[in-house]
Every structure is written in C-alpha cells, then in structure tokens.
Structure 1
Amino acid sequence: MTNINPSPAGLMIAAPRSGSGKTTLTLGLLRALRHAGVAAGSAKCGPDYIDPAFHRAASGRASVNLDSWAMSPALLRELAAQVGIDCDLIICEASMGLFDGVPGPAGQTGSSADVAAALDWPVLLVLDASGQSQSAAAVVKGCATYDPRITIAGVVLNRVGSPRHARLATEAIEALGIPVVGALPRSDGIMLPERHLGLVQAAETSDLEVRLAQIAAFVAEHTRVDVIQALASRGHRAAAGGSAGPAVQPPGQRIAIAQDAAFSFLYPHLLQGWCAAGAEIRCFSPLADEGPDDDCDACWLPGGYPELHAGRLAGSHRFLGRLRRFSETRPVHGECGGYMALGTSLTDAGGVMHPMAGLLSISTSFARRKLHLGYRSARLIDHGCLGPAGTRLRGHEFHYSSVETPSDDISFALVSDAHGAEPVPTGSRRGLVSGSFFHVIATEP
C-alpha cells in the first residue's frame, strides 16, 4: 500500500451487547446518506466476512475490517485512511459489545473500543431499550465512563414500545449531557435472513435492494440523520504514517482464487494488499466447474459454505481435475471451507458423504456440528505460500464442522488461542498443498 491522504472523520456504531441493532442502524445510515448525496465509507470491527459485503451493497463503496488484536496500529490507520478516500465520512460498525475483547496489552484486545480510541472516532451507542425506561440512562452512563479513551457522542434507542417509553428513556439519558438522536420502534419487518454463520450473504439475498430501501426509510424516519452525520465530524481525521505494507505477503505473483457462493470468505484488506504489492488476482468458480488458470503460480481456496454445496462440488469434475493437476507443481492453500474441500470427503447436514479433492487426508462433517470460535495465533511449521517456517500469523476460527477422520499429513502450523493456551498442531500439509480451519488476518505485529 502507498502513502495516502488523511481519511475523513469517522463514527463508531456500537452497543453494550450483541443483538442490539448495530447492523440495522449501520445499513440504514449508509443507504440514507447515499440517498442524500453523502459519500460514506464503511468499516467493520473484528473478524467478520459477511457484514462488510452488506455495507458495500448499502453504500456502493468497499468496506474493510479493522481489528486491534490481529493488526498493527500502523495497519489499522492505513486501512482506515484507504477506505476513506473520496469519502465525506466513515461509518464503522462495532462487533459484539463495545468493550468486549480478549486479554492483551492496552489497545490490542480486539475490542471495538480499541479501534475507536486508536482512530479517535466518537461512538454512537445503540441501546436496546426493551424492558426498561429510565434505567437505560444507567447503562449509557456506564458505557460513557468505563473507558476514558472514548467518547459516547450520542444514543439511538432501539425496540422502543411507545412514544411514552421513548420520552422516559430520552429524558433520563439527556440529563447526562448525551443527546438521544433517534428512537427505533419495535419492528420485525426489516430483519435480514440468517444462517449458521450469521446473516445470509449479501450476494445470496435476492431482494436485498428492497430490504435496504426499507431499512433506510425506517432509519431516516426515526433518527436525525443530519445530526448523526455532524457527530462524525468531531472525530480525528486518521492518517497513515507511511506504508504498512500488505497485511500478509502475497502467496504468489499471479493468484488463482476460488470465488462463488461456496467460497467467498476472503478479507478485502488481503486482496487490496496483494494487489498493491503487485500481485495479479484471477478468480474462478468451482460451482461453475471452473479450475485455476494454468498460468497462475498459486491457488487459494477461501472459506465459505461448501457444506451447502457439497454434492455440486463433488460433481464438478473439471474443477477437481484441474485443481489436482495444478497442485502437482504449484502451491494450493485452503482456509476453513477451502480446507474441507481439499480433504477426502465432506459429510453434509443430512449425513450424506461427498467425495472432495483428496489432496489432503482429512475428512470433515457438518452433520456433527460444534461451534469453534475465537482468535488464533499461528506459527508455520514449514515453508509455504504464507511464508517461511516460523512465520507468525494472527487470525481466527469460526466454523461448526467437525473432523470426522483425522489427517495423517504433516501439520500446517502450531496454533494457540488468545487466552494463553499451549500451542497445538493444526491443519494439514502434503506436498505443495496446505490447509487448516485458521483464517489469516495479518502477519503478527
């Protein structure tokens, strides 16, 4: 990445806990601002593949992930500046609760508060007011005083039951000196569809434009969008202090990347960094029975939902054949869903076993589901497309699939969690093929 101008000021949309309405407010604001002719960039805190695609659909502009645990401060600043090019402001959606993170040095816990503090962005707090009125002010006061690094610039009440309910909560909160800039009534009509890893992906939501229009109208009717826009102007204009370089070195000069409904989980900042470093990206669709181009020198199978398309993948003989031939002379790497596709078989939710590429000896199953979730630190055991042996990477796991038949291949990396667990071997490596459930975010700061 090259040196770039300061980004516009930003605003963090956060909440005391998950499920409070952050995504609804973020998407509604992005689309409403777009309708008003405001160029709004967007970002998402933490490891999340799905929300940034919805941000992009709502705003018409690329979104990016910002993660204080996995990324260096320099990379955070540079990505914020990058996403703000030609924008009037940046709307950043927090993850989980505002202060939720993992043990770590100050500013490097993975919390959304860390990102807001690092970029000096004020916070717009979304508060689920159901089941309370004046007590909402106590929650707001707690959030406003818990971390002196951040500023709660305003509040939007959500799931408000009546005008009286809104008035009682608003009066109590504004007595603290914090403005209430919106009150969203209870509504089930604007919910986005979900599946086991979160929202159904933006590209798969057939009526997405209709839904986004409804959400924007809902937010515009019940919040003061102009005041919210003004709140963002209080924030610092983040600037990159020189190039941080790509978050992860490109796995090749010309990279073939699987990209379709089965393989779509690849962080935008990785692609941007690889392209900025001079790599060429060639996308192909396994579901369309396409394989990696022969003139590429590395192949990447991202995560996604291969378990929903296992039968179709098993029948994509041209894809499987070209992938096998490619792997004889050039590196192939699979992350999570891509790792599953590189194995010998994948058992779907109905218990039906489907043959996969057979390039790694692991067999996986979605019939026996167990959530695996959390940050991971990985150290590569051998040289590969992600770097030489000993390279340390930061990322995460998020999957429900289980290992049905353990691999007898060489392990890919030694992985530990963010809570100090002893490193354990994970993933598989056979010849030039490697894979694991580990999703890389950045080289360890």
Structure 2
Amino acid sequence: MTGPTTPWALPRLVVAASASGHGKTTVATGLLAALRRRGLTVSPHKVGPDYIDPGYHALAAGRTGRNLDPFLVGADRIAPLLRHGASVPTPADVAVVEGVMGLHDGAVGRGDFASTAHVARLIDAPVLLVLDTTAQGRSAAALTLGMAAFDPTVRIGGVILNRVGSPRHETLLRDALAEVGVPVLGAVTRAAEVAAPARHLGLVPVAERAPESLAIVAALAELVESTVDLDAVLDLARTAAPLRVPAWDPVAAVGGPAGGDRPLVAVAGGPAFTFSYAETTELLTAAGADVVTVDPLRDPALPAGTRAVIVGGGFPEAYAEALAGNATLRAEVAAFDGPIVAECAGLLYLGRSLDGAPMCGRLDLTARMTGRLTLGYREAVAAANSPVARTGDAVRGHEFHRTTTDPGHGERPAWRWNGAAHGFVAGRVHASYLHTHWAGHPDAARRLVEACR
C-alpha cells in the first residue's frame, strides 16, 4: 500500500465527450462495472457538482462515487482528493473519472476552469473521448482532431464510437480515425444503447429505483464487455504518470478532533434525500462527531441522542405526500433545539408546505415546483453567523432546482451573492438552496461539531 507521500502509479483515465448527452455516463458506468467484473478494484469519480451520476458509479464499482470539482474545492485539492478516494477503503487498481458537459466547457466566464479538460490536466490523466457518431462519417475524425488541438496539454488517448448505425458506418469511422492517428477502443451501436430513467433534474437517483438500477448497471457492464477493448482501455489508463501529491486527509483538514464527547449528527438519507458528498461525513467524523443516517420517509424519530441534523439535497417534491405522512418525525424536527443545516431539498423540508403538502414548519415559508430551472455556480458570502459559517465567510457553491420559496429569504439570510440575499438563518437553523462541498471549506464541519457542544 502506498504511503501518503509516496508516488503512486495509479492507472486512471477520464471519460469525456464534445457535449452533454453523448454517452459519457453510459460508457463510464459500463467501464466501472466491467472492470469490476474482471476482479479489479475500481475507484469511481465525477467531474463537477453532480450527485446522481456518482450513485450509478458507486453501484457499478462497489465503492463510493466521489466528485472532483475545482470550483467547489479549489484546483489544488483535486489530485489529493482523487488519491484519497482511490485509497479508501482499500487502494484501487484503476480510477475512472467521468467528465462533465463537453471536454472544454468550464464555469461560465472562466474559460475552461472546472472543465473536464482542466481536471484531466490536474490529475495528469489521458482522455477517452466518447463520440456521438449519429449522422457523422469522416467528420468524426475532424472533430476529434479539433478537440485534441484546441488544448494540446490534454491528451486524447483513444475514442469510443457511440450510436454507430451499421457495420459499414463503423468501418468508415474507424478508417477516418486511423487517418488522424487516434485509436478506436470500442464501438456501440444505436440498437445496443441502455438508457437510465430521467427526471426534471437529470437521471433518477439509484436509491429511488434500486432493483431497476442494478439491472441497468448489469446491462451497461455487458454492453461495454461486448463492444469495448478493455485491455486497450487498461493500457491507456496505465500511461498516466504516478501521482506525486499526498492524499487529502480529513483529519488534517479540520485540525483533528476537538476535546469533549462525540456528538451524534443525523444526516437525512433515503430515496428523498440522496444528494450528499462522502467527504461531509468524513470531515464530521474527523472533527469528533459520530454520524448516523435517518430516512425522513420511514423513520418515525431522530436517532436517540441526536445533537445536530443535516438535511441535504434530493427530490422531496417527488415524495411530498409520503414525507407529509411521517408526521411524528416532522414534529420532532420542528421542535429540535440543536443545530440544523439544510441545503436545497432540506430547505423545502423545513418549510411549512411543499406543493400544498405539510412539511416540518420549522421555517416560515412555503415551497412549490416551477417550470424554471435555476442552475449555476455561486460565489457566496455568509450574511449571518450560523452553525456552519461566520458572517463574512466566503464560500463557493452550486444551485440546481426547479422550485421556489415564499419568501425567498429570511430577515437574517444565510448568504449573499450577486448583490442579493438568499436563504434563512433562524436560531440554530441554517438553510438555503446553495449546495456546498465541505472539502472546500472544512471549517463548516468543525464549526457544526462545536455548535453541538
């Protein structure tokens, strides 16, 4: 096993495409499952803030899917977080990183910052480009050549042809790619595509469709096994240079556990609240807390001894009636006097109602679905002291929702960005639409544990 500062020759690659919807998730998830079937320990990762794809990755790989997002955590933490994720609970044999959007698409107005290409450079990994070949012939080679030439520091080591129409189409594509010297490592026909069910914010999370999700992952494994040269993929992954940075360490990030007892922190989970980053639990544990999961759909009460509650993101709008039906837990959350931290879906759950269904009533707001998507990175400043931030603390986060609240913020808002107030701080409650990655501001974990005491 590699030590924390020993160079580690971790085979790895990044699965990318020229745009969203071209098959990255299909190929990445299928690769993870197929490589696992070979007996390899595979570490799954996702570029960007997305919570749903890592759920499918985790199911395929048999270990936690983790995000690599330079905007949320800082560019200098990306390689250490990769090494950390590939090291726990055991060292991986290979890491597969699924990209986001198109290869060179970064945060709006920031060039390629936080793009798939940016992350590929930060982790010094080759790119496996997924090509949607619908209605394309030799132009697929020109597209590949242009993607490579646009940033020569990003190495495209091979392509997977996706949505190939016929054997003749495949031959045409392979011949064209050979002309530009890019190897074809696989070809997936249109008829062989496997689709996961979608919803208004993307794919339906794994936790909501466990049996169906298992079947989808199995089908993706078989698809990749039958259409992709896995030996060639592994050879490409092995061309990555050794990782020379130490692994990210949650204990070091929070400065170690403070003295005193270990408070119990309950984190909402289950099908309605599936959006969370693994590092949140790791940081809370490192700061001296014990973390347990509570399912607001099914659990009638908070775990005995709970001292703080975290309610993250998810799809409560799809479970509003069921959440409303668990009246005993709603009443306990409403009366709970410890710190409560809520993000997006958690904000809705703490309000009085969601699309007319009663929620906890801890915050004086109503919420409803809309037809408008609010999406994007945010640079926020804490507008009030709370269990996770001090007034003036700067954080980076992400918004992704089709709901709205009335009012839009409290008398004491949680954050300010773009000159406006957002969210609610009420007593020991901190709630807003902003999703944050605590590896980017680990003091939130220490502050929450201290607030428990």
When normalised by structure 1's length, the TM-score is 0.91
Q: 2:198 aligns with which of 188, 194, 200?
A: 194
- Check 1:105–1:97 CA distance in 2 against 1; reply closer, same or farther (3 A cut): closer
**Higher helix fraction (1 or 2):** 2
**Residue in 2 that maps onto 1:338:** 346
Q: Is the 8 A contact 1:393 1:441 kept in 2?
A: no
Q: 1:10 aligns with which of 5, 9, 12?
A: 12
Query: Where do 1:165-314 residues align within 5 Å?
Result: 165-187=169-191, 190-205=194-209, 206-241=211-246, 243=248, 245=250, 253-314=263-324
**Residue in 2 that maps onto 1:157:** 161
CA-to-aligned-CA distance 1:347-368 (integer Å, 9 cap, x gap): 1xxxxx11221221221101x3
- Check 1:356–1:129 CA distance in 2 against 1; reply closer, same or farther (3 A cut): same
Q: Give 5+ residue unaligned stretches, structure 1.
A: 348-352, 416-421
CA-to-aligned-CA distance 1:38-74 (integer Å, 9 cap, x gap): 2211100001111111111111122210012122233
How much has 1:190 moved relative to structure 2? 1.6
CA-to-aligned-CA distance 1:203-250 (integer Å, 9 cap, x gap): 222222222222111111111111011100111232434656479869
How much has 1:131 moved relative to structure 2? 0.4
**Secondary structure of the residue that 1:286 maps to in structure 2?**
coil
Rounded to whole Å, the distance in 2 between the matches of 1:427 and 1:405 is: 9
User: Is the counterpart of residue 385 in structure 1 residue 387 in structure 2?
Assistant: yes
Rounded to whole Å, the distance in 1 between the matches of 2:375 and 2:11 is: 32
**Secondary structure of the residue that 1:143 maps to in structure 2?**
helix
Q: Is the 8 A contact 1:365 1:402 kept in 2?
A: yes
How much has 1:106 moved relative to structure 2? 7.3
How much has 1:260 moved relative to structure 2? 1.1
- CA-based RMSD of the aligned residues comes to 2.3
- Check 1:286–1:54 CA distance in 2 against 1; reply closer, same or farther (3 A cut): same
User: Is the counterpart of residue 356 in structure 1 residue 366 in structure 2?
Assistant: no
**Secondary structure of the residue that 1:80 maps to in structure 2?**
helix
Rounded to whole Å, the distance in 2 between the matches of 1:122 and 1:142 is: 16
**Residue in 1 that maps onto 2:421:** 425
**Residue in 2 that maps onto 1:350:** none
Aligned length: 429
Rounded to whole Å, the distance in 1 between the matches of 2:107 and 2:133 is: 27
Q: Is the 8 A contact 1:248 1:386 kept in 2?
A: no
- Check 1:17–1:248 CA distance in 2 against 1; reply closer, same or farther (3 A cut): farther
- Check 1:444–1:298 CA distance in 2 against 1; reply closer, same or farther (3 A cut): closer
Q: Is the 8 A contact 1:39 1:88 kept in 2?
A: yes
Q: Is the 8 A contact 2:384 2:412 kept in 1?
A: no
How much has 1:331 moved relative to structure 2? 1.2
How much has 1:153 moved relative to structure 2? 0.2
**Residue in 2 that maps onto 1:412:** 414
Q: 1:376 aligns with which of 368, 375, 378?
A: 378
Amino acid at match of 2:362: L
Amino acid at match of 1:281: V
Amino acid at match of 1:257: V
Rounded to whole Å, the distance in 1 between the matches of 2:40 and 2:178 is: 28
**Residue in 2 that maps onto 1:89:** 94
**Secondary structure of the residue that 1:263 maps to in structure 2?**
coil
Q: Is the 8 A contact 1:173 1:179 kept in 2?
A: yes
**Residue in 1 that maps onto 2:446:** none
Query: Where do 1:14-163 residues align within 5 Å?
Result: 14-85=16-87, 86-103=91-108, 109-163=113-167
**Secondary structure of the residue that 2:306 maps to in structure 1?**
coil
When normalised by structure 2's length, the TM-score is 0.89
CA-to-aligned-CA distance 1:320-359 (integer Å, 9 cap, x gap): 1211221x3x211111010011112111xxxxx1122122
**Residue in 1 that maps onto 2:449:** none
**Secondary structure of the residue that 2:70 maps to in structure 1?**
coil
- Check 1:242–1:232 CA distance in 2 against 1; reply closer, same or farther (3 A cut): closer
Amino acid at match of 1:426: H
**Secondary structure of the residue that 2:431 maps to in structure 1?**
strand
User: Is the counterpart of residue 325 in structure 1 residue 324 in structure 2?
Assistant: no
How much has 1:406 moved relative to structure 2? 3.9
Rounded to whole Å, the distance in 2 between the matches of 1:47 and 1:323 is: 28
How much has 1:4 moved relative to structure 2? 6.4
- Check 1:46–1:346 CA distance in 2 against 1; reply closer, same or farther (3 A cut): same
- Check 1:149–1:181 CA distance in 2 against 1; reply closer, same or farther (3 A cut): same
Rounded to whole Å, the distance in 2 between the matches of 1:222 and 1:395 is: 38
Rounded to whole Å, the distance in 2 between the matches of 1:123 and 1:382 is: 43
Amino acid at match of 1:441: H
CA-to-aligned-CA distance 1:354-403 (integer Å, 9 cap, x gap): 1221221221101x321000001121112212122211111100011122
How much has 1:276 moved relative to structure 2? 3.3
How much has 1:7 moved relative to structure 2? 6.5
- Check 1:70–1:441 CA distance in 2 against 1; reply closer, same or farther (3 A cut): same
How much has 1:13 moved relative to structure 2? 0.3
**Secondary structure of the residue that 1:187 maps to in structure 2?**
helix
Q: Could you tell which deviates more after superposition, 288-297 or 73-82?
A: 288-297
Rounded to whole Å, the distance in 2 between the matches of 1:84 and 1:378 is: 30
Q: Could you tell which deviates more after superposition, 375-384 or 41-50?
A: 375-384
CA-to-aligned-CA distance 1:10-51 (integer Å, 9 cap, x gap): 100000000111111111111111111122111000011111
Q: Is the 8 A contact 1:345 1:356 kept in 2?
A: yes
Q: Give 5+ residue unaligned stretches, structure 2.
A: 443-453
Q: Is the 8 A contact 2:408 2:423 kept in 1?
A: no
- Check 1:169–1:242 CA distance in 2 against 1; reply closer, same or farther (3 A cut): closer
